[in-house]
Amino acid sequence: MTWILIAELAVMLACIWLGSRHGGIALGFWGGVGLLIITFVFREAPAKPPVDVMLIILAVTCATATMQAAGGIAFFVRMAEKIIKRYPERITIIAPLVAYLFTFAAGTGHILYPLLPVIHDTALRNGIRPERPMTVSVVASLQGITASPVSAAMAAFIVVVETQGYSLPKIMLIAVPATLIGVIVAALVMLRWGKELEDDPEFQRRVAAGEVEDIPVMVRAQRKARREKISMDAALAELGHDPDSEADSQVAVASASVSADGRLEEDILAEKNGARPGSPRITAAVFLATVVLVVVFGAFPGLRPPGEDGEPMGIALLLQILMLSAAAIMVAVTHVKVGPIASSSIARTGVIALVGIFGLAWLGLTVIAANEELIVGGLEGLVTERPWTFAVALFACSIVLFSQASTTRTLMPLGLSLGLGPASLAAMWPAVNGAFFLPTYGTIVAAMNFDRTGTTGIGKFVFNHSFMVPGVTAVVAAVASGLAIAGVVG
């Protein structure tokens, strides 16, 4: 009955809201409360818990946490930092692409946090509004998760579509170019977004108050000369600068990878955790080699060992085996202490993701399974006539679940029930990146806090925040591109 579905959805949304007030791992806890009410009060049978996805997340977390403890993640950050600093004037394009690439490789947006101050300071040093590269980089990191072969979201998606004979390389053939196009379009939209720093009253107020350093005078002069079509000497004179003085022409740029004494942070971390010299590079190489193996085995099922039914082993199971093996190889080769692995930030993030899938996705699956006939009957005509409307449902669900993996595991089976093919689902999959809609997501909060210029923030009406335009642009462009690509490759 319709009223039962409405009541159960209300319970689910209430639990999500209560969980979001506590944040973090509590979201998954409140999913359990929702299940308690759905099963005891509404007398619905619980759906099968998403154990397969949880085990993939656990295995990938083991590998990435080991890599982090041995300095491998810090090594990735240093590589990303070098690329960003090499092309400072193109930072609004380069920084998001770097954020996407390294999220794609690592399978987690966690890698973005140490890059944010580098992006901010590089932009400020070159007179570029930090809001532009920082917001698109956050959005790019979200998009990278729905393209990475080792992300929790990909694990959830593989489990759904592999039963339809759709392999990992086929998913990536659609997801990678679609999400990349989404990121590039968002970056292009943000290239001239907002006032220039010289004209921004909040930035000027902070400079006057000594809260943030001004744009280097030589950069200001170059920009003024270009804008007003005057000579550099004339621009410097108007700015009241002595050309012979270089005192204020240089600004130190934050470095996420070099300590005060000049040592690499990755080597300091590896030494602290008992790993041998060279461990950061070793663990990064082992992890990337494992990612390549996952893609190769996904592309060529004949290379996989047999499963229970004699057919090639499913890629979900093989991914778990490969990631656990990679973690073991890292420990054996680098001699990193196991204690720091379990206490690493990635291990904590992985547990939060695992519990979130356990509670929230299980709750969502139970509500949908209990009302599948009513839901499918109500949506079948609409989705058949306008398939893109399913992307709207994915986007809306991701806003409240704060998780691409939970949204994927909850709604993608419904998409199959509605008659959508795996290629169409892969095309619409970037729509699960709606976590930016409410400005409470971890990387969003971090970006706002790192921006000392005040250009990245929340507007008067909450929803008119800095991430809305690049976020919506990236999702729409990615889904549109994905549907076009799916129409060609199938």
Per-residue pLDDT at 248: 46
Per-residue pLDDT at 452: 86
Report the Cα–Cα distance between both ends of the chain, in Å, rounded.
37
Run of H or E including 233: helix 232-238
CA atoms within 13 A of residue 233's CA, in its CB half-sphere: 1
CB 470 within 8 Å of CB 136: yes
Higher local confidence (pLDDT), 211 or 246: 211
Please, what's the b/e burial string for 228-239 (b: 16 or more CB within 10 A of its CB; e: otherwise)? eeeeeeebbeee
Does residue 194 register a pLDDT over 60? yes
Higher local confidence (pLDDT), 14 or 217: 14
Per-residue pLDDT at 60: 85
Does residue 215 register a pLDDT over 50? yes
Report d(CA 255, CA 278) in Å as an integer: 21
Per-residue pLDDT at 425: 96
Q: Give the Cβ contact number of residue 188 at 10 Å.
A: 14
Q: Identify the DSSP state of 146.
A: T
Per-residue pLDDT at 1: 60
Does residue 249 register a pLDDT over 50? no
**pLDDT above 90 as % of the chain:** 40
Higher local confidence (pLDDT), 158 or 1: 158
Does residue 106 register a pLDDT over 90? no
Report d(CA 119, CA 478) in Å as an integer: 24
| Both tokens assigned to 248 | 């204020």
Residue type, 483: L
Per-residue pLDDT at 457: 85
Does residue 257 register a pLDDT over 70? no
Beta bridge partners of 264: 258
Residue 264: what are its φ and ψ, rounded to 5°?
-70, 135
pLDDT, tens only, 91-101? 999 999 999 99
Residue type, 29: F
Least confident of 32-46, 152-166, 209-223, 448-462: 209-223
Q: Exposed, middle or buried: residue 245 (CB in 10 Å: 0-12, 13-18, 19+)?
A: exposed
Whose CA is closest to 424, among 488, 484, 481, 483? 483
Report d(CA 181, CA 479) in Å as an integer: 10
Per-residue pLDDT at 174: 96
Which alpha helices (DSSP H) does 126-215 contain, by range?
131-145, 152-161, 168-190, 201-208
Report d(CA 397, CA 81) in Å as an integer: 34
SS3 442: helix
Per-residue pLDDT at 253: 47
pLDDT, tens only, 138-181? 999 999 999 998 888 998 899 899 888 888 999 999 999 999 99
Q: Identify the DSSP state of 8.
A: H
Per-residue pLDDT at 244: 54
Average pLDDT over residues 117-138: 90
Per-residue pLDDT at 247: 44
| Both tokens assigned to 171 | 């998913």
Higher local confidence (pLDDT), 385 or 270: 270
Average pLDDT over residues 20-35: 86
Residue 258: what are its φ and ψ, rounded to 5°?
-120, 130
Per-residue pLDDT at 205: 92
Does residue 327 register a pLDDT over 90? yes
pLDDT, tens only, 422-465? 999 999 999 999 989 877 677 887 888 888 898 998 877 777 88
Mean pLDDT for all residues in the chain: 86
Ramachandran region of residue 230, left (φ > 0), alpha (ψ -120 to 50) or beta?
A: beta
Q: What angle do CA 411, 415, 419 make, to 5 degrees?
A: 165
Residue type, 189: V
Average pLDDT over residues 242-249: 50
Average pLDDT over residues 258-281: 85
Does residue 472 register a pLDDT over 70? yes
Residue 312: what are its φ and ψ, rounded to 5°?
-55, 140
Per-residue pLDDT at 251: 43
Residue 306: what are its φ and ψ, rounded to 5°?
-70, 150
Highest mean pLDDT among 38-42, 252-256, 434-438: 38-42
Instruction: Give the pLDDT band of residue 109 (cuts 50, 70, 90).
Output: confident
Q: In Å, what is the CA distance from 305 to each residue of 227, 290, 321, 431?
A: 64, 16, 12, 34
Least confident of 65-74, 147-156, 242-251, 419-428: 242-251
Average pLDDT over residues 392-417: 87
- What's the Rg (C-alpha) of the chain? 24
Domain range summary for the chain, segments of one domain joined by +: 49-197+257-352+372-489
CB 204 within 8 Å of CB 454: no
